[in-house]
Amino acid sequence: MLRSGKLTFSPAFSLDCRIRDESESGARIHTGGAALPRAVVLVSVTRRIAHEAQVVWRHGEEAGVKLGARYELDPTRQERSDPLRHAQVLWSYANGLSYFAL
């Protein structure tokens, strides 16, 4: 089953992806062959869940990620109404940046 996803690498950059073969510990994603950094935040748009993730393999247009911390994207809070925006805020906190610097 394919799910709509987003990858965010920084507060300013994101990439659409398709999530395949997701498990508790990892996922295979279709990226269209885009170059990816090792650390990303993977957002499942349909499930409204974000994971810190590490890219562990790449092959053509697909990549494998090891899933880390999981975050429920709460649509009741204004800054979290957009799952991608929430993932960007999570990325900022994880990297020592202030939310207000965005």
Q: Output the domain CATH number for residue 82.
A: 2.40.10
- In this structure, is residue 102 part of a structural domain? no
The string of pLDDT tens digits covering residues 93-102 is: 555 554 444 4
Confidence at residue 19, expressed as pLDDT on a 0 to 100 scale = 95
The string of pLDDT tens digits covering residues 14-36 is: 888 999 989 999 999 999 988 89
**Tokens standing for 4?**
């709509």
pTM: 0.74
User: Which residues form the domain of 34?
Assistant: 3-97
Which helix (H) or strand (E) is 9 found in, with range?
A: strand 3-10
The string of pLDDT tens digits covering residues 60-80 is: 999 999 999 888 776 555 454
Helices (H) and strands (E) counted in the chain, each on its own, are 1, 6
How many domains is the chain built from? Answer: 1
- In this structure, is residue 44 part of a structural domain? yes
